Structure 1
């Protein structure tokens, strides 16, 4: 059954998710959902053509932006004399929007595809062992079934269990959970270096990494691959290459096409489309205002009293401050609401309160869909909803879902469905019999059994979904076959009473590509949308530097739509402190926050943060939110332990440290002024080198030892996080922490991207850059800086060559000056 996977899928035009420009370092924290439209991991499409040709976007079967397909061109609305000019203008705007999105997605795909193709081509035409040396692939891997996680089959890929770890550990060094890799069967067996995924006759599969050990890689294989002899023969050797998910591109392309080709009778969605297109092109204000007015009203058929009842019910379960109350009330009474949640303001918590309210507006066969950009975000959303006793179903691959939520997953319930389990067992039995038979009927029976198992799976999924009020998935995962089938949109099965998802909440909306945000919008045909995010934190991750893709849909909407009319007016019950905020010179010269409000007026701002000591939040509040982000006075006492930690750091490093409140800066410069940074060996995910700084890494390691020794009764290693912009430094720090005596386990080391949405009691930031030219790379990205400085609850310690970093970037220079000028004043 399985085989060289060629042109079997007719798809669409789109691009991936993004996060700041990666001109120097590996794309860290970029997560993909590698499930296809059947809800399972898909085989590799024929993306790998002859590598003597330039990489071709069409090899993936995504149409080019100039496609003449009638399916990808928005239909011209019928015109009359009275409205022909207006409608023609709108049609042109829709067409321009589609072309721009699809062209940009095409460029993004080509960029990512080109990296993979170039690496494989270089390996085939020259140094065949290069992929192993650089950690981009492995040869001579034997697959062994290790078990299952719900419906996922887990295979362990290893060379020889008897090999010591050091013979393998470097080769799989770049593989990490949720990575997509291509497995190619080595036709000549062990030692074969000629079999290559670009060969037309190659047998290859796209799989997802579920875990990595010192001598192995664990992967999840697709339902189809389960039945292939490749994974049932203990003498089959495989080659593994780092790859990327094509599914996200396909689903985003389909979403853009669907969004731009709506039927006119779909009033709600066409209004969303007209608003999005208007904001994209900078349409006349009257068109945006007119559409925005429509969005500010309740969905058709819903009386305001019903929204008030839902609001009151939500309040009984959630303790909300004034700005959160406003956000909930607006969301329950409008068709579109954007909620801006700066660090620590309870953005996801507010989203959960809104979901609670939506559940009280549901009619028969209606559900709420909650999405997030990443699996981590979706899990956080599901946890928050579950904590308020909502009936939540998490949809996604079992290996991508946090273990504590597995029993709330669709896969868990499917595993316990008797009809589906029986059909799956019959499919496995029939397939096994077909492998050992030359009888054509046996193969036909096996094919029929597999199809029946698929149908039973969708029947069971639709039935299971009826029992839950809220479904949670990633944005890309919202196009899962189970969600589509439950709505009666699948070809092989339609439930007797299809479900609908009139209410949609999207968290992490400012991290998501615009096209990715359109996926849940178009697959559900929702009527009321809530977007949660922060335009001042990390944007989508874009590799091709496309301006179209670098701006999220939420950011575009908040900048171009009019301010919503607030529906609550009472004061916050908690007093906020401005003592530390007063020490920072605000960037605006007029009314506090005037510029910020002007640039983000279309959103509701959550204004109280409950994460950081006020000294930690002061500078980000002034720099990125013009002083609008406040801190309750109660946080001073709750986070007072950070001061003692800074005293410990100061005593250890003496004159090299400045600290103000719970914020410290450790100065790291060479004695002769020479550069301390160095390029790491190998290449990162976009073909560029990465940086590391040994002296900084050693100081960070010393600080962690000192802090844990002095505060062992109040701090655990898991309370400390280390953030660095570069993967080279991340690797170096991990090695130092594990090799010191005694070794430190439990301290999390990650990149800025990996820490977005996270928090720790103590954060140490290693800036890395140190050179005579004061080059700081993407340290100058303000949104990246905002994330780095707002993860700490009790204490923030920045370790940096302040001459390089402060001299190379104005904002960092202002931050260092602020700490130094206020040292020891509090």
Structure 2
């Protein structure tokens, strides 16, 4: 099935279809992409007469009996316009509600459904919508191609079936998706007339409330949907929705800890409920499992996620997955769970799960089901921290308590004797702004350090921790904070003897040498394991006693970090009975019930002893609330790296362990925490603690010398996001030459005009034109001698990330196929904190409505622009992007430098499209402009402080036309900052990532790339 015969009416539509598809063939910028196909036999595209059952406008829908197939949103009942969602069995029409698309598309994106059936009386009849070759029924992946000679079309999915060129009868170059502009193509379902929508055109608020009702009830009758016209705009009478409506927004100032907890607690609960629903709704069926045994003798289950399911089945290493198999001839009903240990990537399409038990049915490979297991642990620990903050006076110092509430407090500092030299070594010599940050952090109970891209915040954080430990060793740290009550010192004196006895106690599993009374370890945290591992590595190399505490089952590929893990240290230092139990467990894989209880008790005692002896404990913010850190253990000093990527309740977990000194490191001009529930996000849970403290008037210490980027790459971000304060630690003459349109400007914006498409998930986007051009650029880079490890492709959308990866592998020539597997294709969010020599940034969004989605987030743009060291290529539609004033500023910046180009590689020309007005500087520091009591989403939109003169325009002077701009000197010298870097610092990279061990070789390759690749960008 899936082949549709086209009548002569199809030819009448041919011009329209050709216009829609012409973009794909424009200047050879587009090749058809891979998809799976199904075929249909079509009769006619003539519009049907309105259904006789549809009432006129203004009729009361409650007085009319509507058929069962009427649209659940608007009541339209024309067979030519309605389509059934085969997942929930409800019917929807192809009518539009605002810019969000047609009713059927809105329903699928909001409910995560993706398979449809046409009405039996429609023009197409009940022909199934599925891929002709592989049977894929995901309508977001489906498109059609026409036969070259016959009047028929065939449905193929985008990947991989539409990529194959095996059938010469089909016009594969002009594959067209079934959903365009968030509507089904009109020849599948005719958009209804206004008078056919019996209940009127519903608003998005009404539709959202109705979908929420269906999710809550689970079995809500579809007939209730026809009452949508009478839903109150203020909300629906539904307990679940009312609970969300009753949530309070985040405030800047709180009366006390109880109000603080009452505000954040429900928001955390709502966010947890959202992810609970999302995760448990994802089930994969009929998967094929490949069984193996790991080096730890655990059973490993590996399986391939279908391409059209991958974007929806999101997971991370450490997530729990439940595998099951129904009873059959080869196997009784079976079920077990395990943890994800490997995700699909460039080198493998398989997902690998380490199973818990040993009784895996390794003789069976087919017929398994997989589902994500929901875990509320992170949210439970946030709630515990909120309660501790509200109820326990010892959770934080008095000073920090009031500062976190937003109350004004007299300035307070510690009386400490700072070392004469703060830099740890000559190799890690600090610049002036880094020295200022270290000094401020050591002297103050609360410090905010803003680290723009490439300014060495990891080195700064490691130096702070090293000096804290060093001062504690020498006994020079004297805490004279005013919040320390005098009676507390007396209590310590009374308990001194008891504490000494406890410190000298030895656990039964081994000796604890040197257990004398000393300050607790410095607690170093970050939201992600990657950031924690990086800090652990840096601190361990400085010679500190570091313990890496992680969730059970965590593993690290870096041997130095693994040696610091709590499990590794416990195993190395165990003695006596614990050592024997560990050996038996490793050899046999099991212990008796009594032995297991004894083993657990001894391990916990040993873990507590190891943590007590450490100078530094590193863990994620969530793990800071785990039982691996003793409940009575207080962390006097807490440093949180990447704090702007964590929610405030997440940061509170380590802080509420008795903090007296807090150091927050981050950058509020880069991406913040990920919030799933849109309503919770709008109420402010996505605002970080770092950002709220800035809004309250706390000025961060900014690191101001960047060592990552070529000055030409850093200029725009410095002027727009950091008030032009960033200086360059490497002079441009020390960098390799650049193969770009204009010498001295290692950047290029390649204008691409191919349309965006909904990805297979229905909630993300892709752009096949940009994916094709990414592949062309990477291929040319390979031929010029650039290694795959030097290249990074970033994009805001998961759909585009997956499509680019698959497209390049499917179309790769044999000689570069292996190399392509080592080219990283990641989302902008996942690439924050990292860098590559060359970055290709695919913007994706390209539509007639000028909708940019979260491309409008200035923080996401800042991250994307600051990942490259030597060169940046942006692919995007300047017409769509220029409707946003910040993007217009960027486009003017590129155009004024001759770097906004279009055409094909080798035949580039200056792009002459009209660009909108740019953004201009907004006066006044951000913290002074937002003194409000409650959170509003507009308040925390990242401030963009543009310098109009730097960007090329003035308030009273229009931007130059393209003809004027072409007469300018494109190769003008850039302003690389007022200060010259110290000679010792010029060649040192203090960014987040380490330099390649042989930087000269890297530069040699880039020089070669310059000579071979520059000719591609001729005008």
TM-score normalised to structure 2 length: 0.55
Residues 427 and 453, structure 1, Cα contact 8 Å, conserved in 2: no
Q: Which residue of 1 aligns with 2:397?
A: 269
Q: Distance in 1 between matches of 2:111 and 2:624?
A: 30
The 3 A distance-change label for structure 1 pair 176 and 543 is closer
Q: Is 1:506 aligned to residue 664 of structure 2?
A: no
1:451 paired residue among 597, 603, 613: 597
The 3 A distance-change label for structure 1 pair 705 and 24 is farther
The 3 A distance-change label for structure 1 pair 311 and 475 is farther
Q: Which residue of 1 aligns with 2:477?
A: none
Cα deviation code 1:269-302 (max 9, x no counterpart): 3432221122xxxxxxxx4133xx2xx311xxxx
Q: Which residue of 2 aligns with 1:736?
A: 807
3-state DSSP of counterpart to 1:309: coil
Please report the RMSD computed on the Cα atoms of aligned residues, expressed in angstroms.
3.6
3-state DSSP of counterpart to 2:643: coil
When the two structures are aligned, how many residues end up with a matched partner? 604
Q: Distance in 2 between matches of 1:218 and 1:702?
A: 32
Residue 177 of structure 1 deviates from its aligned partner by: 4.7
Q: Which residue of 1 aligns with 2:451?
A: 341
Residue 357 of structure 1 deviates from its aligned partner by: 0.6
Q: Which residue of 1 aligns with 2:301?
A: 157
Q: Is 1:533 aligned to residue 533 of structure 2?
A: no
Residue 537 of structure 1 deviates from its aligned partner by: 0.4
3-state DSSP of counterpart to 1:762: strand
3-state DSSP of counterpart to 1:550: coil
Q: Is 1:297 aligned to residue 413 of structure 2?
A: yes
Q: Which residue of 2 aligns with 1:623?
A: 720
Q: Which residue of 2 aligns with 1:183?
A: 322
Q: Aligned ranges for residues 501-580 of structure 1 at < 5 Å?
A: 501-523=635-657, 525-545=658-678, 546=680, 547-562=683-698
Q: Distance in 1 between matches of 2:876 and 2:971?
A: 22
Q: Is 1:767 aligned to residue 767 of structure 2?
A: no
Residue 617 of structure 1 deviates from its aligned partner by: 0.9
Q: Aligned ranges for residues 311-710 of structure 1 at < 5 Å?
A: 312=422, 314=424, 318-362=428-472, 364-397=518-551, 399-404=554-559, 405-416=561-572, 417-418=574-575, 419-424=577-582, 446-484=592-630, 489=632, 500-523=634-657, 525-545=658-678, 546=680, 547-562=683-698, 602-632=699-729, 634-641=730-737, 643-644=738-739, 646=740, 650=741, 661-670=745-754, 676-681=755-760, 683=761, 688-710=762-784
Residue 780 of structure 1 deviates from its aligned partner by: 0.6
In structure 1, runs of 5+ residues without a counterpart are 1-22, 27-47, 55-63, 68-89, 121-130, 133-137, 160-164, 196-201, 279-286, 434-445, 490-498, 563-601, 651-657, 671-675
Q: Which residue of 1 aligns with 2:829?
A: 753
Q: Which residue of 1 aligns with 2:1015?
A: none
Residues 65 and 99, structure 1, Cα contact 8 Å, conserved in 2: no
Residue 420 of structure 1 deviates from its aligned partner by: 3.3
Residue 704 of structure 1 deviates from its aligned partner by: 1.2
Residues 451 and 702, structure 2, Cα contact 8 Å, conserved in 1: yes
Residue 408 of structure 1 deviates from its aligned partner by: 2.3
Residue 659 of structure 1 deviates from its aligned partner by: 8.3
Q: Distance in 2 between matches of 1:460 and 1:175?
A: 36
Q: Distance in 2 between matches of 1:276 and 1:235?
A: 56
The 3 A distance-change label for structure 1 pair 267 and 183 is closer
Cα deviation code 1:425-484 (max 9, x no counterpart): 667999969xxxxxxxxxxxx433222111121122233335532221111122232222
Q: Distance in 2 between matches of 1:765 and 1:347?
A: 24
Q: Distance in 1 between matches of 2:759 and 2:330?
A: 30
Residue 385 of structure 1 deviates from its aligned partner by: 1.6
Cα deviation code 1:12-33 (max 9, x no counterpart): xxxxxxxxxxx9999xxxxxxx
The 3 A distance-change label for structure 1 pair 706 and 145 is closer
The 3 A distance-change label for structure 1 pair 117 and 176 is closer
Q: Distance in 2 between matches of 1:623 and 1:450?
A: 59
The 3 A distance-change label for structure 1 pair 49 and 400 is farther
3-state DSSP of counterpart to 1:366: coil
3-state DSSP of counterpart to 2:533: helix
3-state DSSP of counterpart to 2:800: helix
Q: Is 1:288 aligned to residue 451 of structure 2?
A: no
3-state DSSP of counterpart to 1:274: helix
Q: Aligned ranges for residues 12-23 of structure 1 at < 5 Å?
A: none
Residues 613 and 640, structure 1, Cα contact 8 Å, conserved in 2: no
Q: Which residue of 2 aligns with 1:5?
A: none
Structure with greater Cα Rg: 2
Q: Is 1:788 aligned to residue 859 of structure 2?
A: no
Q: Is 1:822 aligned to residue 882 of structure 2?
A: no
Residues 400 and 660, structure 2, Cα contact 8 Å, conserved in 1: no
Residue 627 of structure 1 deviates from its aligned partner by: 1.1
Q: Which residue of 2 aligns with 1:249?
A: 379
Q: Distance in 2 between matches of 1:374 and 1:366?
A: 23
3-state DSSP of counterpart to 2:869: strand
The 3 A distance-change label for structure 1 pair 214 and 518 is same
Residues 636 and 661, structure 2, Cα contact 8 Å, conserved in 1: yes
3-state DSSP of counterpart to 1:628: coil
Residue 141 of structure 1 deviates from its aligned partner by: 4.8
Q: Distance in 1 between matches of 2:220 and 2:605?
A: 45
Residue 328 of structure 1 deviates from its aligned partner by: 0.3
Cα deviation code 1:717-738 (max 9, x no counterpart): 1011111011111112112332
Q: Distance in 1 between matches of 2:750 and 2:734?
A: 25
Residue 92 of structure 1 deviates from its aligned partner by: 4.7
Q: Distance in 1 between matches of 2:837 and 2:685?
A: 34
Q: Which residue of 1 aligns with 2:7?
A: none
The 3 A distance-change label for structure 1 pair 49 and 403 is farther
Q: Distance in 1 between matches of 2:397 and 2:368?
A: 47
Residue 104 of structure 1 deviates from its aligned partner by: 0.5
Q: Distance in 2 between matches of 1:191 and 1:53?
A: 39
Residues 422 and 435, structure 2, Cα contact 8 Å, conserved in 1: no
Q: Which residue of 2 aligns with 1:42?
A: none
Residues 513 and 553, structure 1, Cα contact 8 Å, conserved in 2: yes
Residue 412 of structure 1 deviates from its aligned partner by: 1.9
Residue 330 of structure 1 deviates from its aligned partner by: 0.9
Residues 538 and 753, structure 1, Cα contact 8 Å, conserved in 2: yes
Residue 527 of structure 1 deviates from its aligned partner by: 1.7
Q: Distance in 2 between matches of 1:763 and 1:707?
A: 12
Q: Distance in 2 between matches of 1:819 and 1:169?
A: 36
The 3 A distance-change label for structure 1 pair 635 and 51 is farther
3-state DSSP of counterpart to 1:371: strand
3-state DSSP of counterpart to 2:882: helix
Residues 301 and 352, structure 2, Cα contact 8 Å, conserved in 1: yes
Residue 696 of structure 1 deviates from its aligned partner by: 0.8
3-state DSSP of counterpart to 1:473: strand
Greater RCO between the two (CA within 8 Å, min separation 6)?
A: 1
Residues 182 and 207, structure 1, Cα contact 8 Å, conserved in 2: yes
Residue 818 of structure 1 deviates from its aligned partner by: 1.1
Residue 211 of structure 1 deviates from its aligned partner by: 4.6
3-state DSSP of counterpart to 2:879: helix
Q: Which residue of 1 aligns with 2:268?
A: 105
Residue 230 of structure 1 deviates from its aligned partner by: 4.9
Q: Distance in 2 between matches of 1:348 and 1:432?
A: 41
Residues 310 and 358, structure 1, Cα contact 8 Å, conserved in 2: no
Residue 217 of structure 1 deviates from its aligned partner by: 3.6
Q: Which residue of 2 aligns with 1:73?
A: none
Residue 819 of structure 1 deviates from its aligned partner by: 1.0
The 3 A distance-change label for structure 1 pair 621 and 267 is same
Residues 660 and 819, structure 1, Cα contact 8 Å, conserved in 2: no
